[in-house]
Amino acid sequence: MNELRRDRRTLGGAAAAAAPAAFLALLLALALTGCASANRAALREASTRSAGAFAAGDYGLALELYQKLYESDRADGKIVSSYASMIEDVKAAADQAGAKGGYAAAQGIYRLLADRWDGFSALARRLPFKKADLEAAAKDCGLAMCERVFRQEVGRGDCAKALGAYRAAISEYPEDKAVRARYIKGVAEIAGLAARALEAKEYAQAGRTYALLLKNAESFEGGIGTSSESAPTRESLAEGIRACALALTNGGLAEYRKGDLEGAIAIWEELLSFDPGNAEIKKAAETARAQLGKLKRPVKGGSRNGRGGR
């Protein structure tokens, strides 16, 4: 009987001790359920707002909303998965923009992702691309924009602006061989335009192009393009300028000897447009202008018949 009483007391004590533990477990379960519910609500809100920002083209905000949620709970699988999906969607938007020729927009998105890479680098294994891929894609977009501007300016006949199209890329990637090769290819093309103009006896145009290249020779000396194109040498450019100057010098002299002073001056002014330091031609043009001025000056007192005239 005594043993029975002792067993009952032992069981009662165990039950009493188990009751608080069960209660704590229940509270913990309820707390976890509440947290999970709060996380789901936060994820739904972030997903909705992020989708709206993405649709509006505000990719920075679309990523930021998930970034904040991710920083608050990096262990939540759904948050991590949703954030990774948004990052991929933003990358896909850049790819699509680039495929449609929207290089500036695409470059901006690639750079946005590259700049924010450290914030989600822990998700890198979930992503099908790396930071280096984003940086390379941004560079390719920049070069595509350079090429587009280059083509537009060459088509307009503005070789100075065509060369300037690559200036920003060269400055941003000074050691990049691919960028330099694209620039050299453009330089070689412009040198070819000058050679064809010289062959067609368009001496002023050819001379101005050769002079432009010589002025910028430091930026491309010794360079090789993407194929077999080589940058022109200073010597070849100077030779081109001399050939154009000689042709225009002779052309102006021919007009001068015929008595066409205005024609001679016009030709020599074209020469001076690319060879302004040519002292000989400056003097010849000044002489022709002075002679032309005398010819155009009215005779004082009018004309007289005979000696005294009446």
pLDDT in tens, 192-219: 999 999 999 999 999 999 999 999 999 9
Give the per-residue pLDDT at 22.
55
Residue 13: the pLDDT is: 53
pLDDT tens-place string over residues 71-117: 988 888 999 999 999 999 999 999 999 999 999 999 999 999 999 99
Neighbour-count burial for 38-72, b at 16+ CB within 10 Å, e otherwise: ebeebbeebbeebeebbeeeebeebbbbbbebbee
pLDDT 10s digits, 232-255: 999 999 999 999 999 999 999 999
How far apart CA 158 and CA 271 sit, in angstroms, is: 18
pLDDT of amino acid 146:
95
Q: Is the pLDDT assigned to residue 11 strictly greater than 60?
A: no
Which band of pLDDT confidence, cut at 50, 70 and 90, is reported for residue 230? confident
Q: What does pTM read for this prediction?
A: 0.74
Above 80 in pLDDT, residue 40? Answer: no
Between 16 and 125, name the one with better pLDDT. Answer: 125
